[in-house]
């Protein structure tokens, strides 16, 4: 029972760390986007190039943030240790079933 409690604690700790990093990424995205926008519009940084370069940078960063969000709240939420354990158990059961089928076939062949 203690091992199970330890696993639950570790899972909760890992999830909290993931969410904390995601929130930090969001705040960094907001501040960085504001910085890029101000640098482009008010200080004329990159004026010789495309005028909307900051929009491209912010869009790419937003896409990366969305991928991070999906990983934390969708992928890791459903494909956790429990899911992994169930998949391993299912595959092991299939392998054992196949091995028993092969053993029974070998026994039938040797009896003939």
Lowest-confidence segment of 50-54, 57-61, 91-95 by average pLDDT: 50-54
Instruction: Tell me the two tokens of residue 27.
Output: 């705040």
Instruction: Tell me the two tokens of residue 60.
Output: 């790419």
Band the pLDDT of 47: cuts 50, 70, 90: low
The gap from C-alpha 64 to its chain's centroid, in whole angstroms, comes to 12
User: Given this model, what pLDDT does residue 111 score?
Assistant: 80
User: Given this model, what pLDDT does residue 64 score?
Assistant: 96
pTM higher than 0.85, yes or no?
no
User: Given this model, what pLDDT does residue 24 score?
Assistant: 97
Distance set, CA 54 to CA 28, 36, 37, 48 (Å)? 15, 6, 6, 13
User: 65, 25 in Cβ contact below 8 A?
Assistant: yes
């Amino acid at each position: 029972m203690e091992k199970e409690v330890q696993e639950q604690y570790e899972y909760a700790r890992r999830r909290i760390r993931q969410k904390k990093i995601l929130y930090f990424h969001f705040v960094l995205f907001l501040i960085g986007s504001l910085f890029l926008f101000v640098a482009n519009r008010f200080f004329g940084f990159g004026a010789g190039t495309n005028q909307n370069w900051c929009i491209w940078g912010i869009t790419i960063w937003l896409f990366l943030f969305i991928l991070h969000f999906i990983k934390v709240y969708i992928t890791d939420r459903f494909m956790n240790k429990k899911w992994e354990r169930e998949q391993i158990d299912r595959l092991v059961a299939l392998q054992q079933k196949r091995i028993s089928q092969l053993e029974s076939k070998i026994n039938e062949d040797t009896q003939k």
